Homo-oligomer: A and B are copies of this chain.
Amino acid sequence: MSGTIGVIGLGGMGGGIAGRLLETGHDVSVFNRTASAAAPFVAKRATLAATPGAAAAGGIVITMVANDAALEQMASGEGGFLAGLPQGGVHMSMSTISVALAKSLAERHAARGSHFVAAPVFGRPEAAGSGKLWIMVSGAAEAKARVRPVLEALSQGIEDLGESPEAAPTGKIAGNFMIAAATEAMGEAFALLAKSGVDTRAWHAMLSRSIFACPIYANYGRFILDRAFSPPGFKLSLGAKDIGLALAAGQEKQVPMPFASVLRDRFTASMAQGRADLDWTSIAVNALADAGLAETHG
């Protein structure tokens, strides 16, 4: 066992993580900005932390929050975990954050004698709750070794991307870009097929059991075909943020990304048309609407 593990952020993903850790026998301390979200976990044996810093007192703290601003607030706001984490402690960031913030957090931890490990995940809340996430991890070797049992409890696969704190966040951002690109490609293909009178479900079924027999194509394609955009598995506004992070990283590293540029325009149009809170697969509605096909889904 690795002592009490703090979990900050109890939304779908963070809640899944906290629940899984409790089920696998870990001691867990939880913090959420809206305290009511913590109750179900306290009922299952978790400790309620009064501040992010208190959640970090056991030496390992996991963050799973909405965006950079929220993480910064948890880290350095009043009662933040940067101050609350003991010497030698490890902060493991599991949500999607910017490369710039990863770098900055790593430096601030180093200055205080604590450690930053980036461990962003692929998978939906159910996967988090059942230990079926896929995790990319990067950071100092010792710190990674210390959190390894935690990662194993949560995942069905772990890929180590080395020592740089920026590596795993970049990998996660690139991965989300790939998912959005697959979504847009399906949207365009469905529009072409539908206006050509081809059975889109039969077409999708075949590709999903042959050359594209993988979760993204099988599941996301079905969401689009079913217009299953609500409730969202992952909000379009968050996807928009991630494509923004990909383009920001690309600009910083001088990498033109024309597909990412098209995607940014798609996400922006989707938000302008009122789909911010639907599932991010609803960017495919743009391709359908441009073809004169779709009712808009506002």
Contact = CB atoms under 8 A, between A and B. Distances in A.
A210 B134 contact: yes
Interface string A207-247: 10111111111000000000000000000000000001011
Contacts of A272: 254-256, 290-292
B216 A215 contact: no
**Interface residue range, chain A:** 35 or more
Nearest to A271: B254
A153 B224 CA distance: 34
A48 interface: no
A195 B182 CA distance: 23
Contacts of A130: none
A116 B17 CA distance: 50
A199 interface: yes
A98 to B, nearest CB: 12
Contact of A191 (B171, B255, B290): B255
B161 A199 contact: yes
A159 B184 CA distance: 23
Interface stretch (A76-84, A144-152, A262-270): A262-270
A260 interface: yes
Interface stretch (A28-36, A104-112, A162-170): A162-170
B254 A258 contact: no
Contacts of A87: none
Contacts of A164: 197-198
A260 to B, nearest CB: 6
